[in-house]
Chain A
Amino acid sequence: MANVTITNVRKAFGSTEVLHGVSVGIEDGEFVILVGPSGCGKSTLLRMIAGLENISSGDIAIGGRVVNNVPPKERDIAMVFQNYALYPHMTVRDNMAFSLVMAKAPQAVIDEHVRRAAQILGLSDLLHRYPRQLSGGQRQRVAMGRAIVRDPQVFLFDEPLSNLDAKLRVQMRAEIKELHQRLNTTIMYVTHDQIEAMTMADKIVVMNSGNVEQIGEPLELYDRPANLFVAGFIGSPAMNFLRGQLRDGAFVTNDGVALPLPPTGHGAGNGTDGAPAVYGIRPEHFQLRPDGLPVTVHVVEPTGSETQVIANIGETQILCAFRERVMARPGETIHVAPDTALVHLFDADSGRRYDS
């Protein structure tokens, strides 16, 4: 078990730099989730921690020891690869047992660990199969099993559940969380799944094209995103953005619609009057109110638990999600009110949040 400290790490492949100075501090036993759009450098960062890519500049320390030049074998890290990397010539059992065999563990210990991992992952009936005889989701679970038979300092998971069906994913999510509570090992976990990120993480790291945009607890990112990127990335469906200006303590969109500001003021400080700004409001933070803003309905999408309405405020298209059922038809006008306490305001130029 160990903490991981990443300090100003850069990575260049040839002349293209893909990580531009990433710093993340991970406490011992913490469950950290890495999110970000495809190609932003998540896998590269994990591979650098594992020691599979060299570090162009900066430091990575595991348990207080800088490991830049420590070979992967000595870092004591277990990783689930995005492409599984199962050994095609070994059965599921041998795949899972490989690291223990390499560590010269006694046969009884190996058997017990493999049996338990297989049970957790629902692979008990497949132990004698070869990887080619497995479905994508089963292979992914074997890859997971290969990591969890060990007791490493750090787990690195690169989208380990992406190929599972919804039910299995929920089940595996619980298993991983339980595993973490039991072993209390530091985990770094990459996912594209919002729910996974929000429910499992102690801390989320949001990355965007080789930079860290924000680090924080899940609800912190949801409640107070530091910039437009995080605001748009965290939360599903994504936050609505309306462009406009702050004028006389009010927000006016570019097409002239005045929107209500938080009761505490917008926190923009002095000198922002007339400055271009972005008004952010999550779809679930609209309410149907007779005294609300008139919006024109485009599409109504009932999902069962809620109703999503795509509508226009002036020229801007927004998405609202209501708990109640909305019977409006396309073309009709409904009245919605943003929950002013949950409005986010951003500087349009820098993208930064105003009141942070």
Chain B
Amino acid sequence: MDATAQAASVQRLSFVRQPDSWLVRLFDYKPFLVAICMLPTAGLLLVFLTYPLGLGIWLAFTDATIGNPGEFVGLDNFISLWDDPVFWLSVFNTFVYTFVTTIIKFALGLWLALLLNHHIPFKAFIRAIVLLPFIVPTVLSAIAWWWIFSPQFSIVSYVLVDRLGWLDHYINFLGTPWAARWSLIVANVWRGIPFIAITLLAGLQTIPPSLYEAALLDGASGWQRFRRITVPLLMPILSVVLTLSVLFTFTDFQLVYAITRGGPFNSTHLMATLAFQRAIPGSQLGEGAAIAVAMIPFLVAATLVTYFGLGRRKWQQGEAND
């Protein structure tokens, strides 16, 4: 043993543990730690989430207009909405919009993700392209779609009529209720696919290839491997993506407001656009807030169903150890 090592061992022997100071003990005290760590987040949530939400809910029970704080009127706003056909149309639209686009987005997004999960040439490039609609600001892409749906300058009409000659008149995409609804659905699908494709691709990449090899040797066909390996293993992430997608679509505002502003004749209003329309341009703050508040139960229900219905599986539960 050399001199330093000897010195170290002597020191270790003579070392007596000092009692901790009160500060050290305070920070070792779990309830205190929990409280102090939660404080910043809780404060931010309170100021930036709870306050606006609370204010919105309060407004829904007042007759506030722009410039007038208004008085508490109880359920008056909701009662008048109950008899308002435009409101019910917006509810109907929101459901159709959410339901149809979610189905299409998931079908196409999953298909894209499966394609991108294979070895294909220019993979990185194709992934970048797929992500594009997600990167472009929504208002910008809404304007592009508005242009595509234009009655006079639509490129679709131009190709179909002037180039291919399949139609003899320009299509009035946004002129009639159902054409406008389908046009919005197309735009929303285009805008929503990247998010779904990329997140599902991430999910697919967590599935070990050896499971597919084992299934291959077990005699499973391509479809059986998809049904019995891919789908169940993708379910946890699928449910989260589905929840998020439903929430985003249900509360969508930008695309619809930029392309149709709810027209023609209020036929494409979603609850979000109608709320805004009534509250700001229509200056009926209380009524607009009531429409927005009416979305909350639907959103909570949708979240509960998708999240708990498809969420964590028994095989995932417990501690991971591999």
A and B: real partners?
A: yes
B219 at the binding interface (Cβ < 8 Å): yes
**Stretch binding the partner chain, chosen from A31-39, A72-80, A301-309, A343-351:** A72-80
Interface 0/1 of A85-101, CB less than 8 Å to B: 11111100000001100
Interface 0/1 of A126-137, CB less than 8 Å to B: 000011110000
> With A83-B210, A132-B320, A132-B321 in contact, do A50 and B315 touch (Cβ < 8 Å)?
no
A102 interface neighbour in B208, B213, B220, Cβ under 8 Å: B220
B224 at the binding interface (Cβ < 8 Å): yes
Instruction: Report the tally of A-B residue pairs with Cβ distances under 8 A.
Output: 68
- Give Cα distance in the complex from A146 to B217, angstroms: 11
Residues of B within 8 A of A83 (CB): 210
B216 at the binding interface (Cβ < 8 Å): yes
Smallest Cβ-Cβ distance to A76: which chain B residue = B219
Smallest Cβ-Cβ distance to B322: which chain A residue = A132
Contact across chains for A146 and B232 when beta carbons are under 8 A apart:
no
- Give Cα distance in the complex from A233 to B233, angstroms: 43
B214 interface neighbour in A85, A89, A103, Cβ under 8 Å: A85
> With A132-B315, A133-B318 in contact, do A87 and B214 touch (Cβ < 8 Å)?
yes
Q: Which of B225-241 contact A (CB under 8 A)?
A: 228-229, 232-233
- Give Cα distance in the complex from A103 to B211, angstroms: 18
Q: Which of A104-161 contact B (CB under 8 A)?
A: 130-133, 146
Residues of B within 8 A of A79 (CB): 214, 217
- Give Cα distance in the complex from A229 to B208, angstroms: 36
Interface 0/1 of B191-217, CB less than 8 Å to A: 000000000000000001011011111
> With A72-B217, A85-B211, A98-B215 in contact, do A132 and B229 touch (Cβ < 8 Å)?
no
B84 at the binding interface (Cβ < 8 Å): no
- Give Cα distance in the complex from A24 to B232, angstroms: 40
Q: Which of B298-316 contact A (CB under 8 A)?
A: 313-316
Interface of B, helix, strand, loop or mixed by DSSP: helix
Contact across chains for B210 and A102 when beta carbons are under 8 A apart:
no
> With A132-B320, A132-B322 in contact, do A89 and B218 touch (Cβ < 8 Å)?
no
Smallest Cβ-Cβ distance to B233: which chain A residue = A89
Residues of B within 8 A of A103 (CB): 219
- Give Cα distance in the complex from A141 to B79, angstroms: 66
Interface size class of B (residues with CB under 8 A): 20 to 34
A241 at the binding interface (Cβ < 8 Å): no
A170 at the binding interface (Cβ < 8 Å): no
B208 interface neighbour in A77, A78, A85, A89, Cβ under 8 Å: A85
- Give Cα distance in the complex from A52 to B321, angstroms: 27
Residues of B within 8 A of A85 (CB): 208, 210-211, 213-214
The count of residues in chain A whose C-beta lies closer than 8 Å to any C-beta of chain B is: 26
- Give Cα distance in the complex from A133 to B321, angstroms: 9
Contact across chains for B218 and A146 when beta carbons are under 8 A apart:
yes
- Give Cα distance in the complex from A99 to B217, angstroms: 8
B221 at the binding interface (Cβ < 8 Å): yes
Contact across chains for B213 and A130 when beta carbons are under 8 A apart:
no
Interface 0/1 of B9-27, CB less than 8 Å to A: 0000000000000000000
Residues of B within 8 A of A189 (CB): none
- Give Cα distance in the complex from A24 to B230, angstroms: 37
Contact across chains for B213 and A81 when beta carbons are under 8 A apart:
yes
Contact across chains for A102 and B219 when beta carbons are under 8 A apart:
yes
Residues of A within 8 A of B228 (CB): 87, 98
- Give Cα distance in the complex from A51 to B313, angstroms: 33
A87 interface neighbour in B211, B314, B320, B322, Cβ under 8 Å: B211
Residues of A within 8 A of B218 (CB): 98-99, 102, 146
Contact across chains for A130 and B315 when beta carbons are under 8 A apart:
yes
Contact across chains for A87 and B321 when beta carbons are under 8 A apart:
no
Smallest Cβ-Cβ distance to B218: which chain A residue = A99
> With A52-B213, A81-B210, A88-B233 in contact, do A73 and B320 touch (Cβ < 8 Å)?
no
A50 interface neighbour in B208, B217, B221, B321, Cβ under 8 Å: B217
Contact across chains for B314 and A130 when beta carbons are under 8 A apart:
yes
- Give Cα distance in the complex from A190 to B215, angstroms: 21
Residues of B within 8 A of A90 (CB): 315
> With A87-B211, A132-B320, A133-B318 in contact, do A102 and B224 touch (Cβ < 8 Å)?
yes
Residues of A within 8 A of B232 (CB): 89
Smallest Cβ-Cβ distance to A79: which chain B residue = B217
25 contacts between A and B (CB under 8 A): A50-B217, A52-B213, A52-B216, A72-B216, A72-B217, A73-B216, A73-B219, A73-B220, A77-B217, A85-B208, A85-B210, A85-B213, A87-B214, A88-B315, A89-B233, A98-B215, A98-B218, A98-B220, A102-B218, A103-B219, A130-B315, A132-B316, A132-B318, A132-B322, A146-B214
B positions within 8 Å CB-CB of A: 208, 210-211, 213-221, 224, 228-229, 232-233, 313-316, 318, 320-322
A positions within 8 Å CB-CB of B: 50-52, 71-73, 77-79, 81, 83, 85-90, 98-99, 102-103, 130-133, 146
Q: What are the 8 closest A-B residue pairs judged by CB atoms, nearest first?
A: A99-B218, A85-B210, A85-B214, A130-B315, A102-B219, A89-B232, A89-B315, A72-B216
Known A52-B216, A78-B217; further 18 A-B contacts with Cβ < 8 A: A50-B213, A50-B217, A52-B217, A73-B220, A79-B217, A81-B214, A83-B210, A85-B213, A86-B214, A87-B228, A87-B229, A89-B315, A102-B219, A102-B220, A103-B219, A130-B315, A146-B214, A146-B218
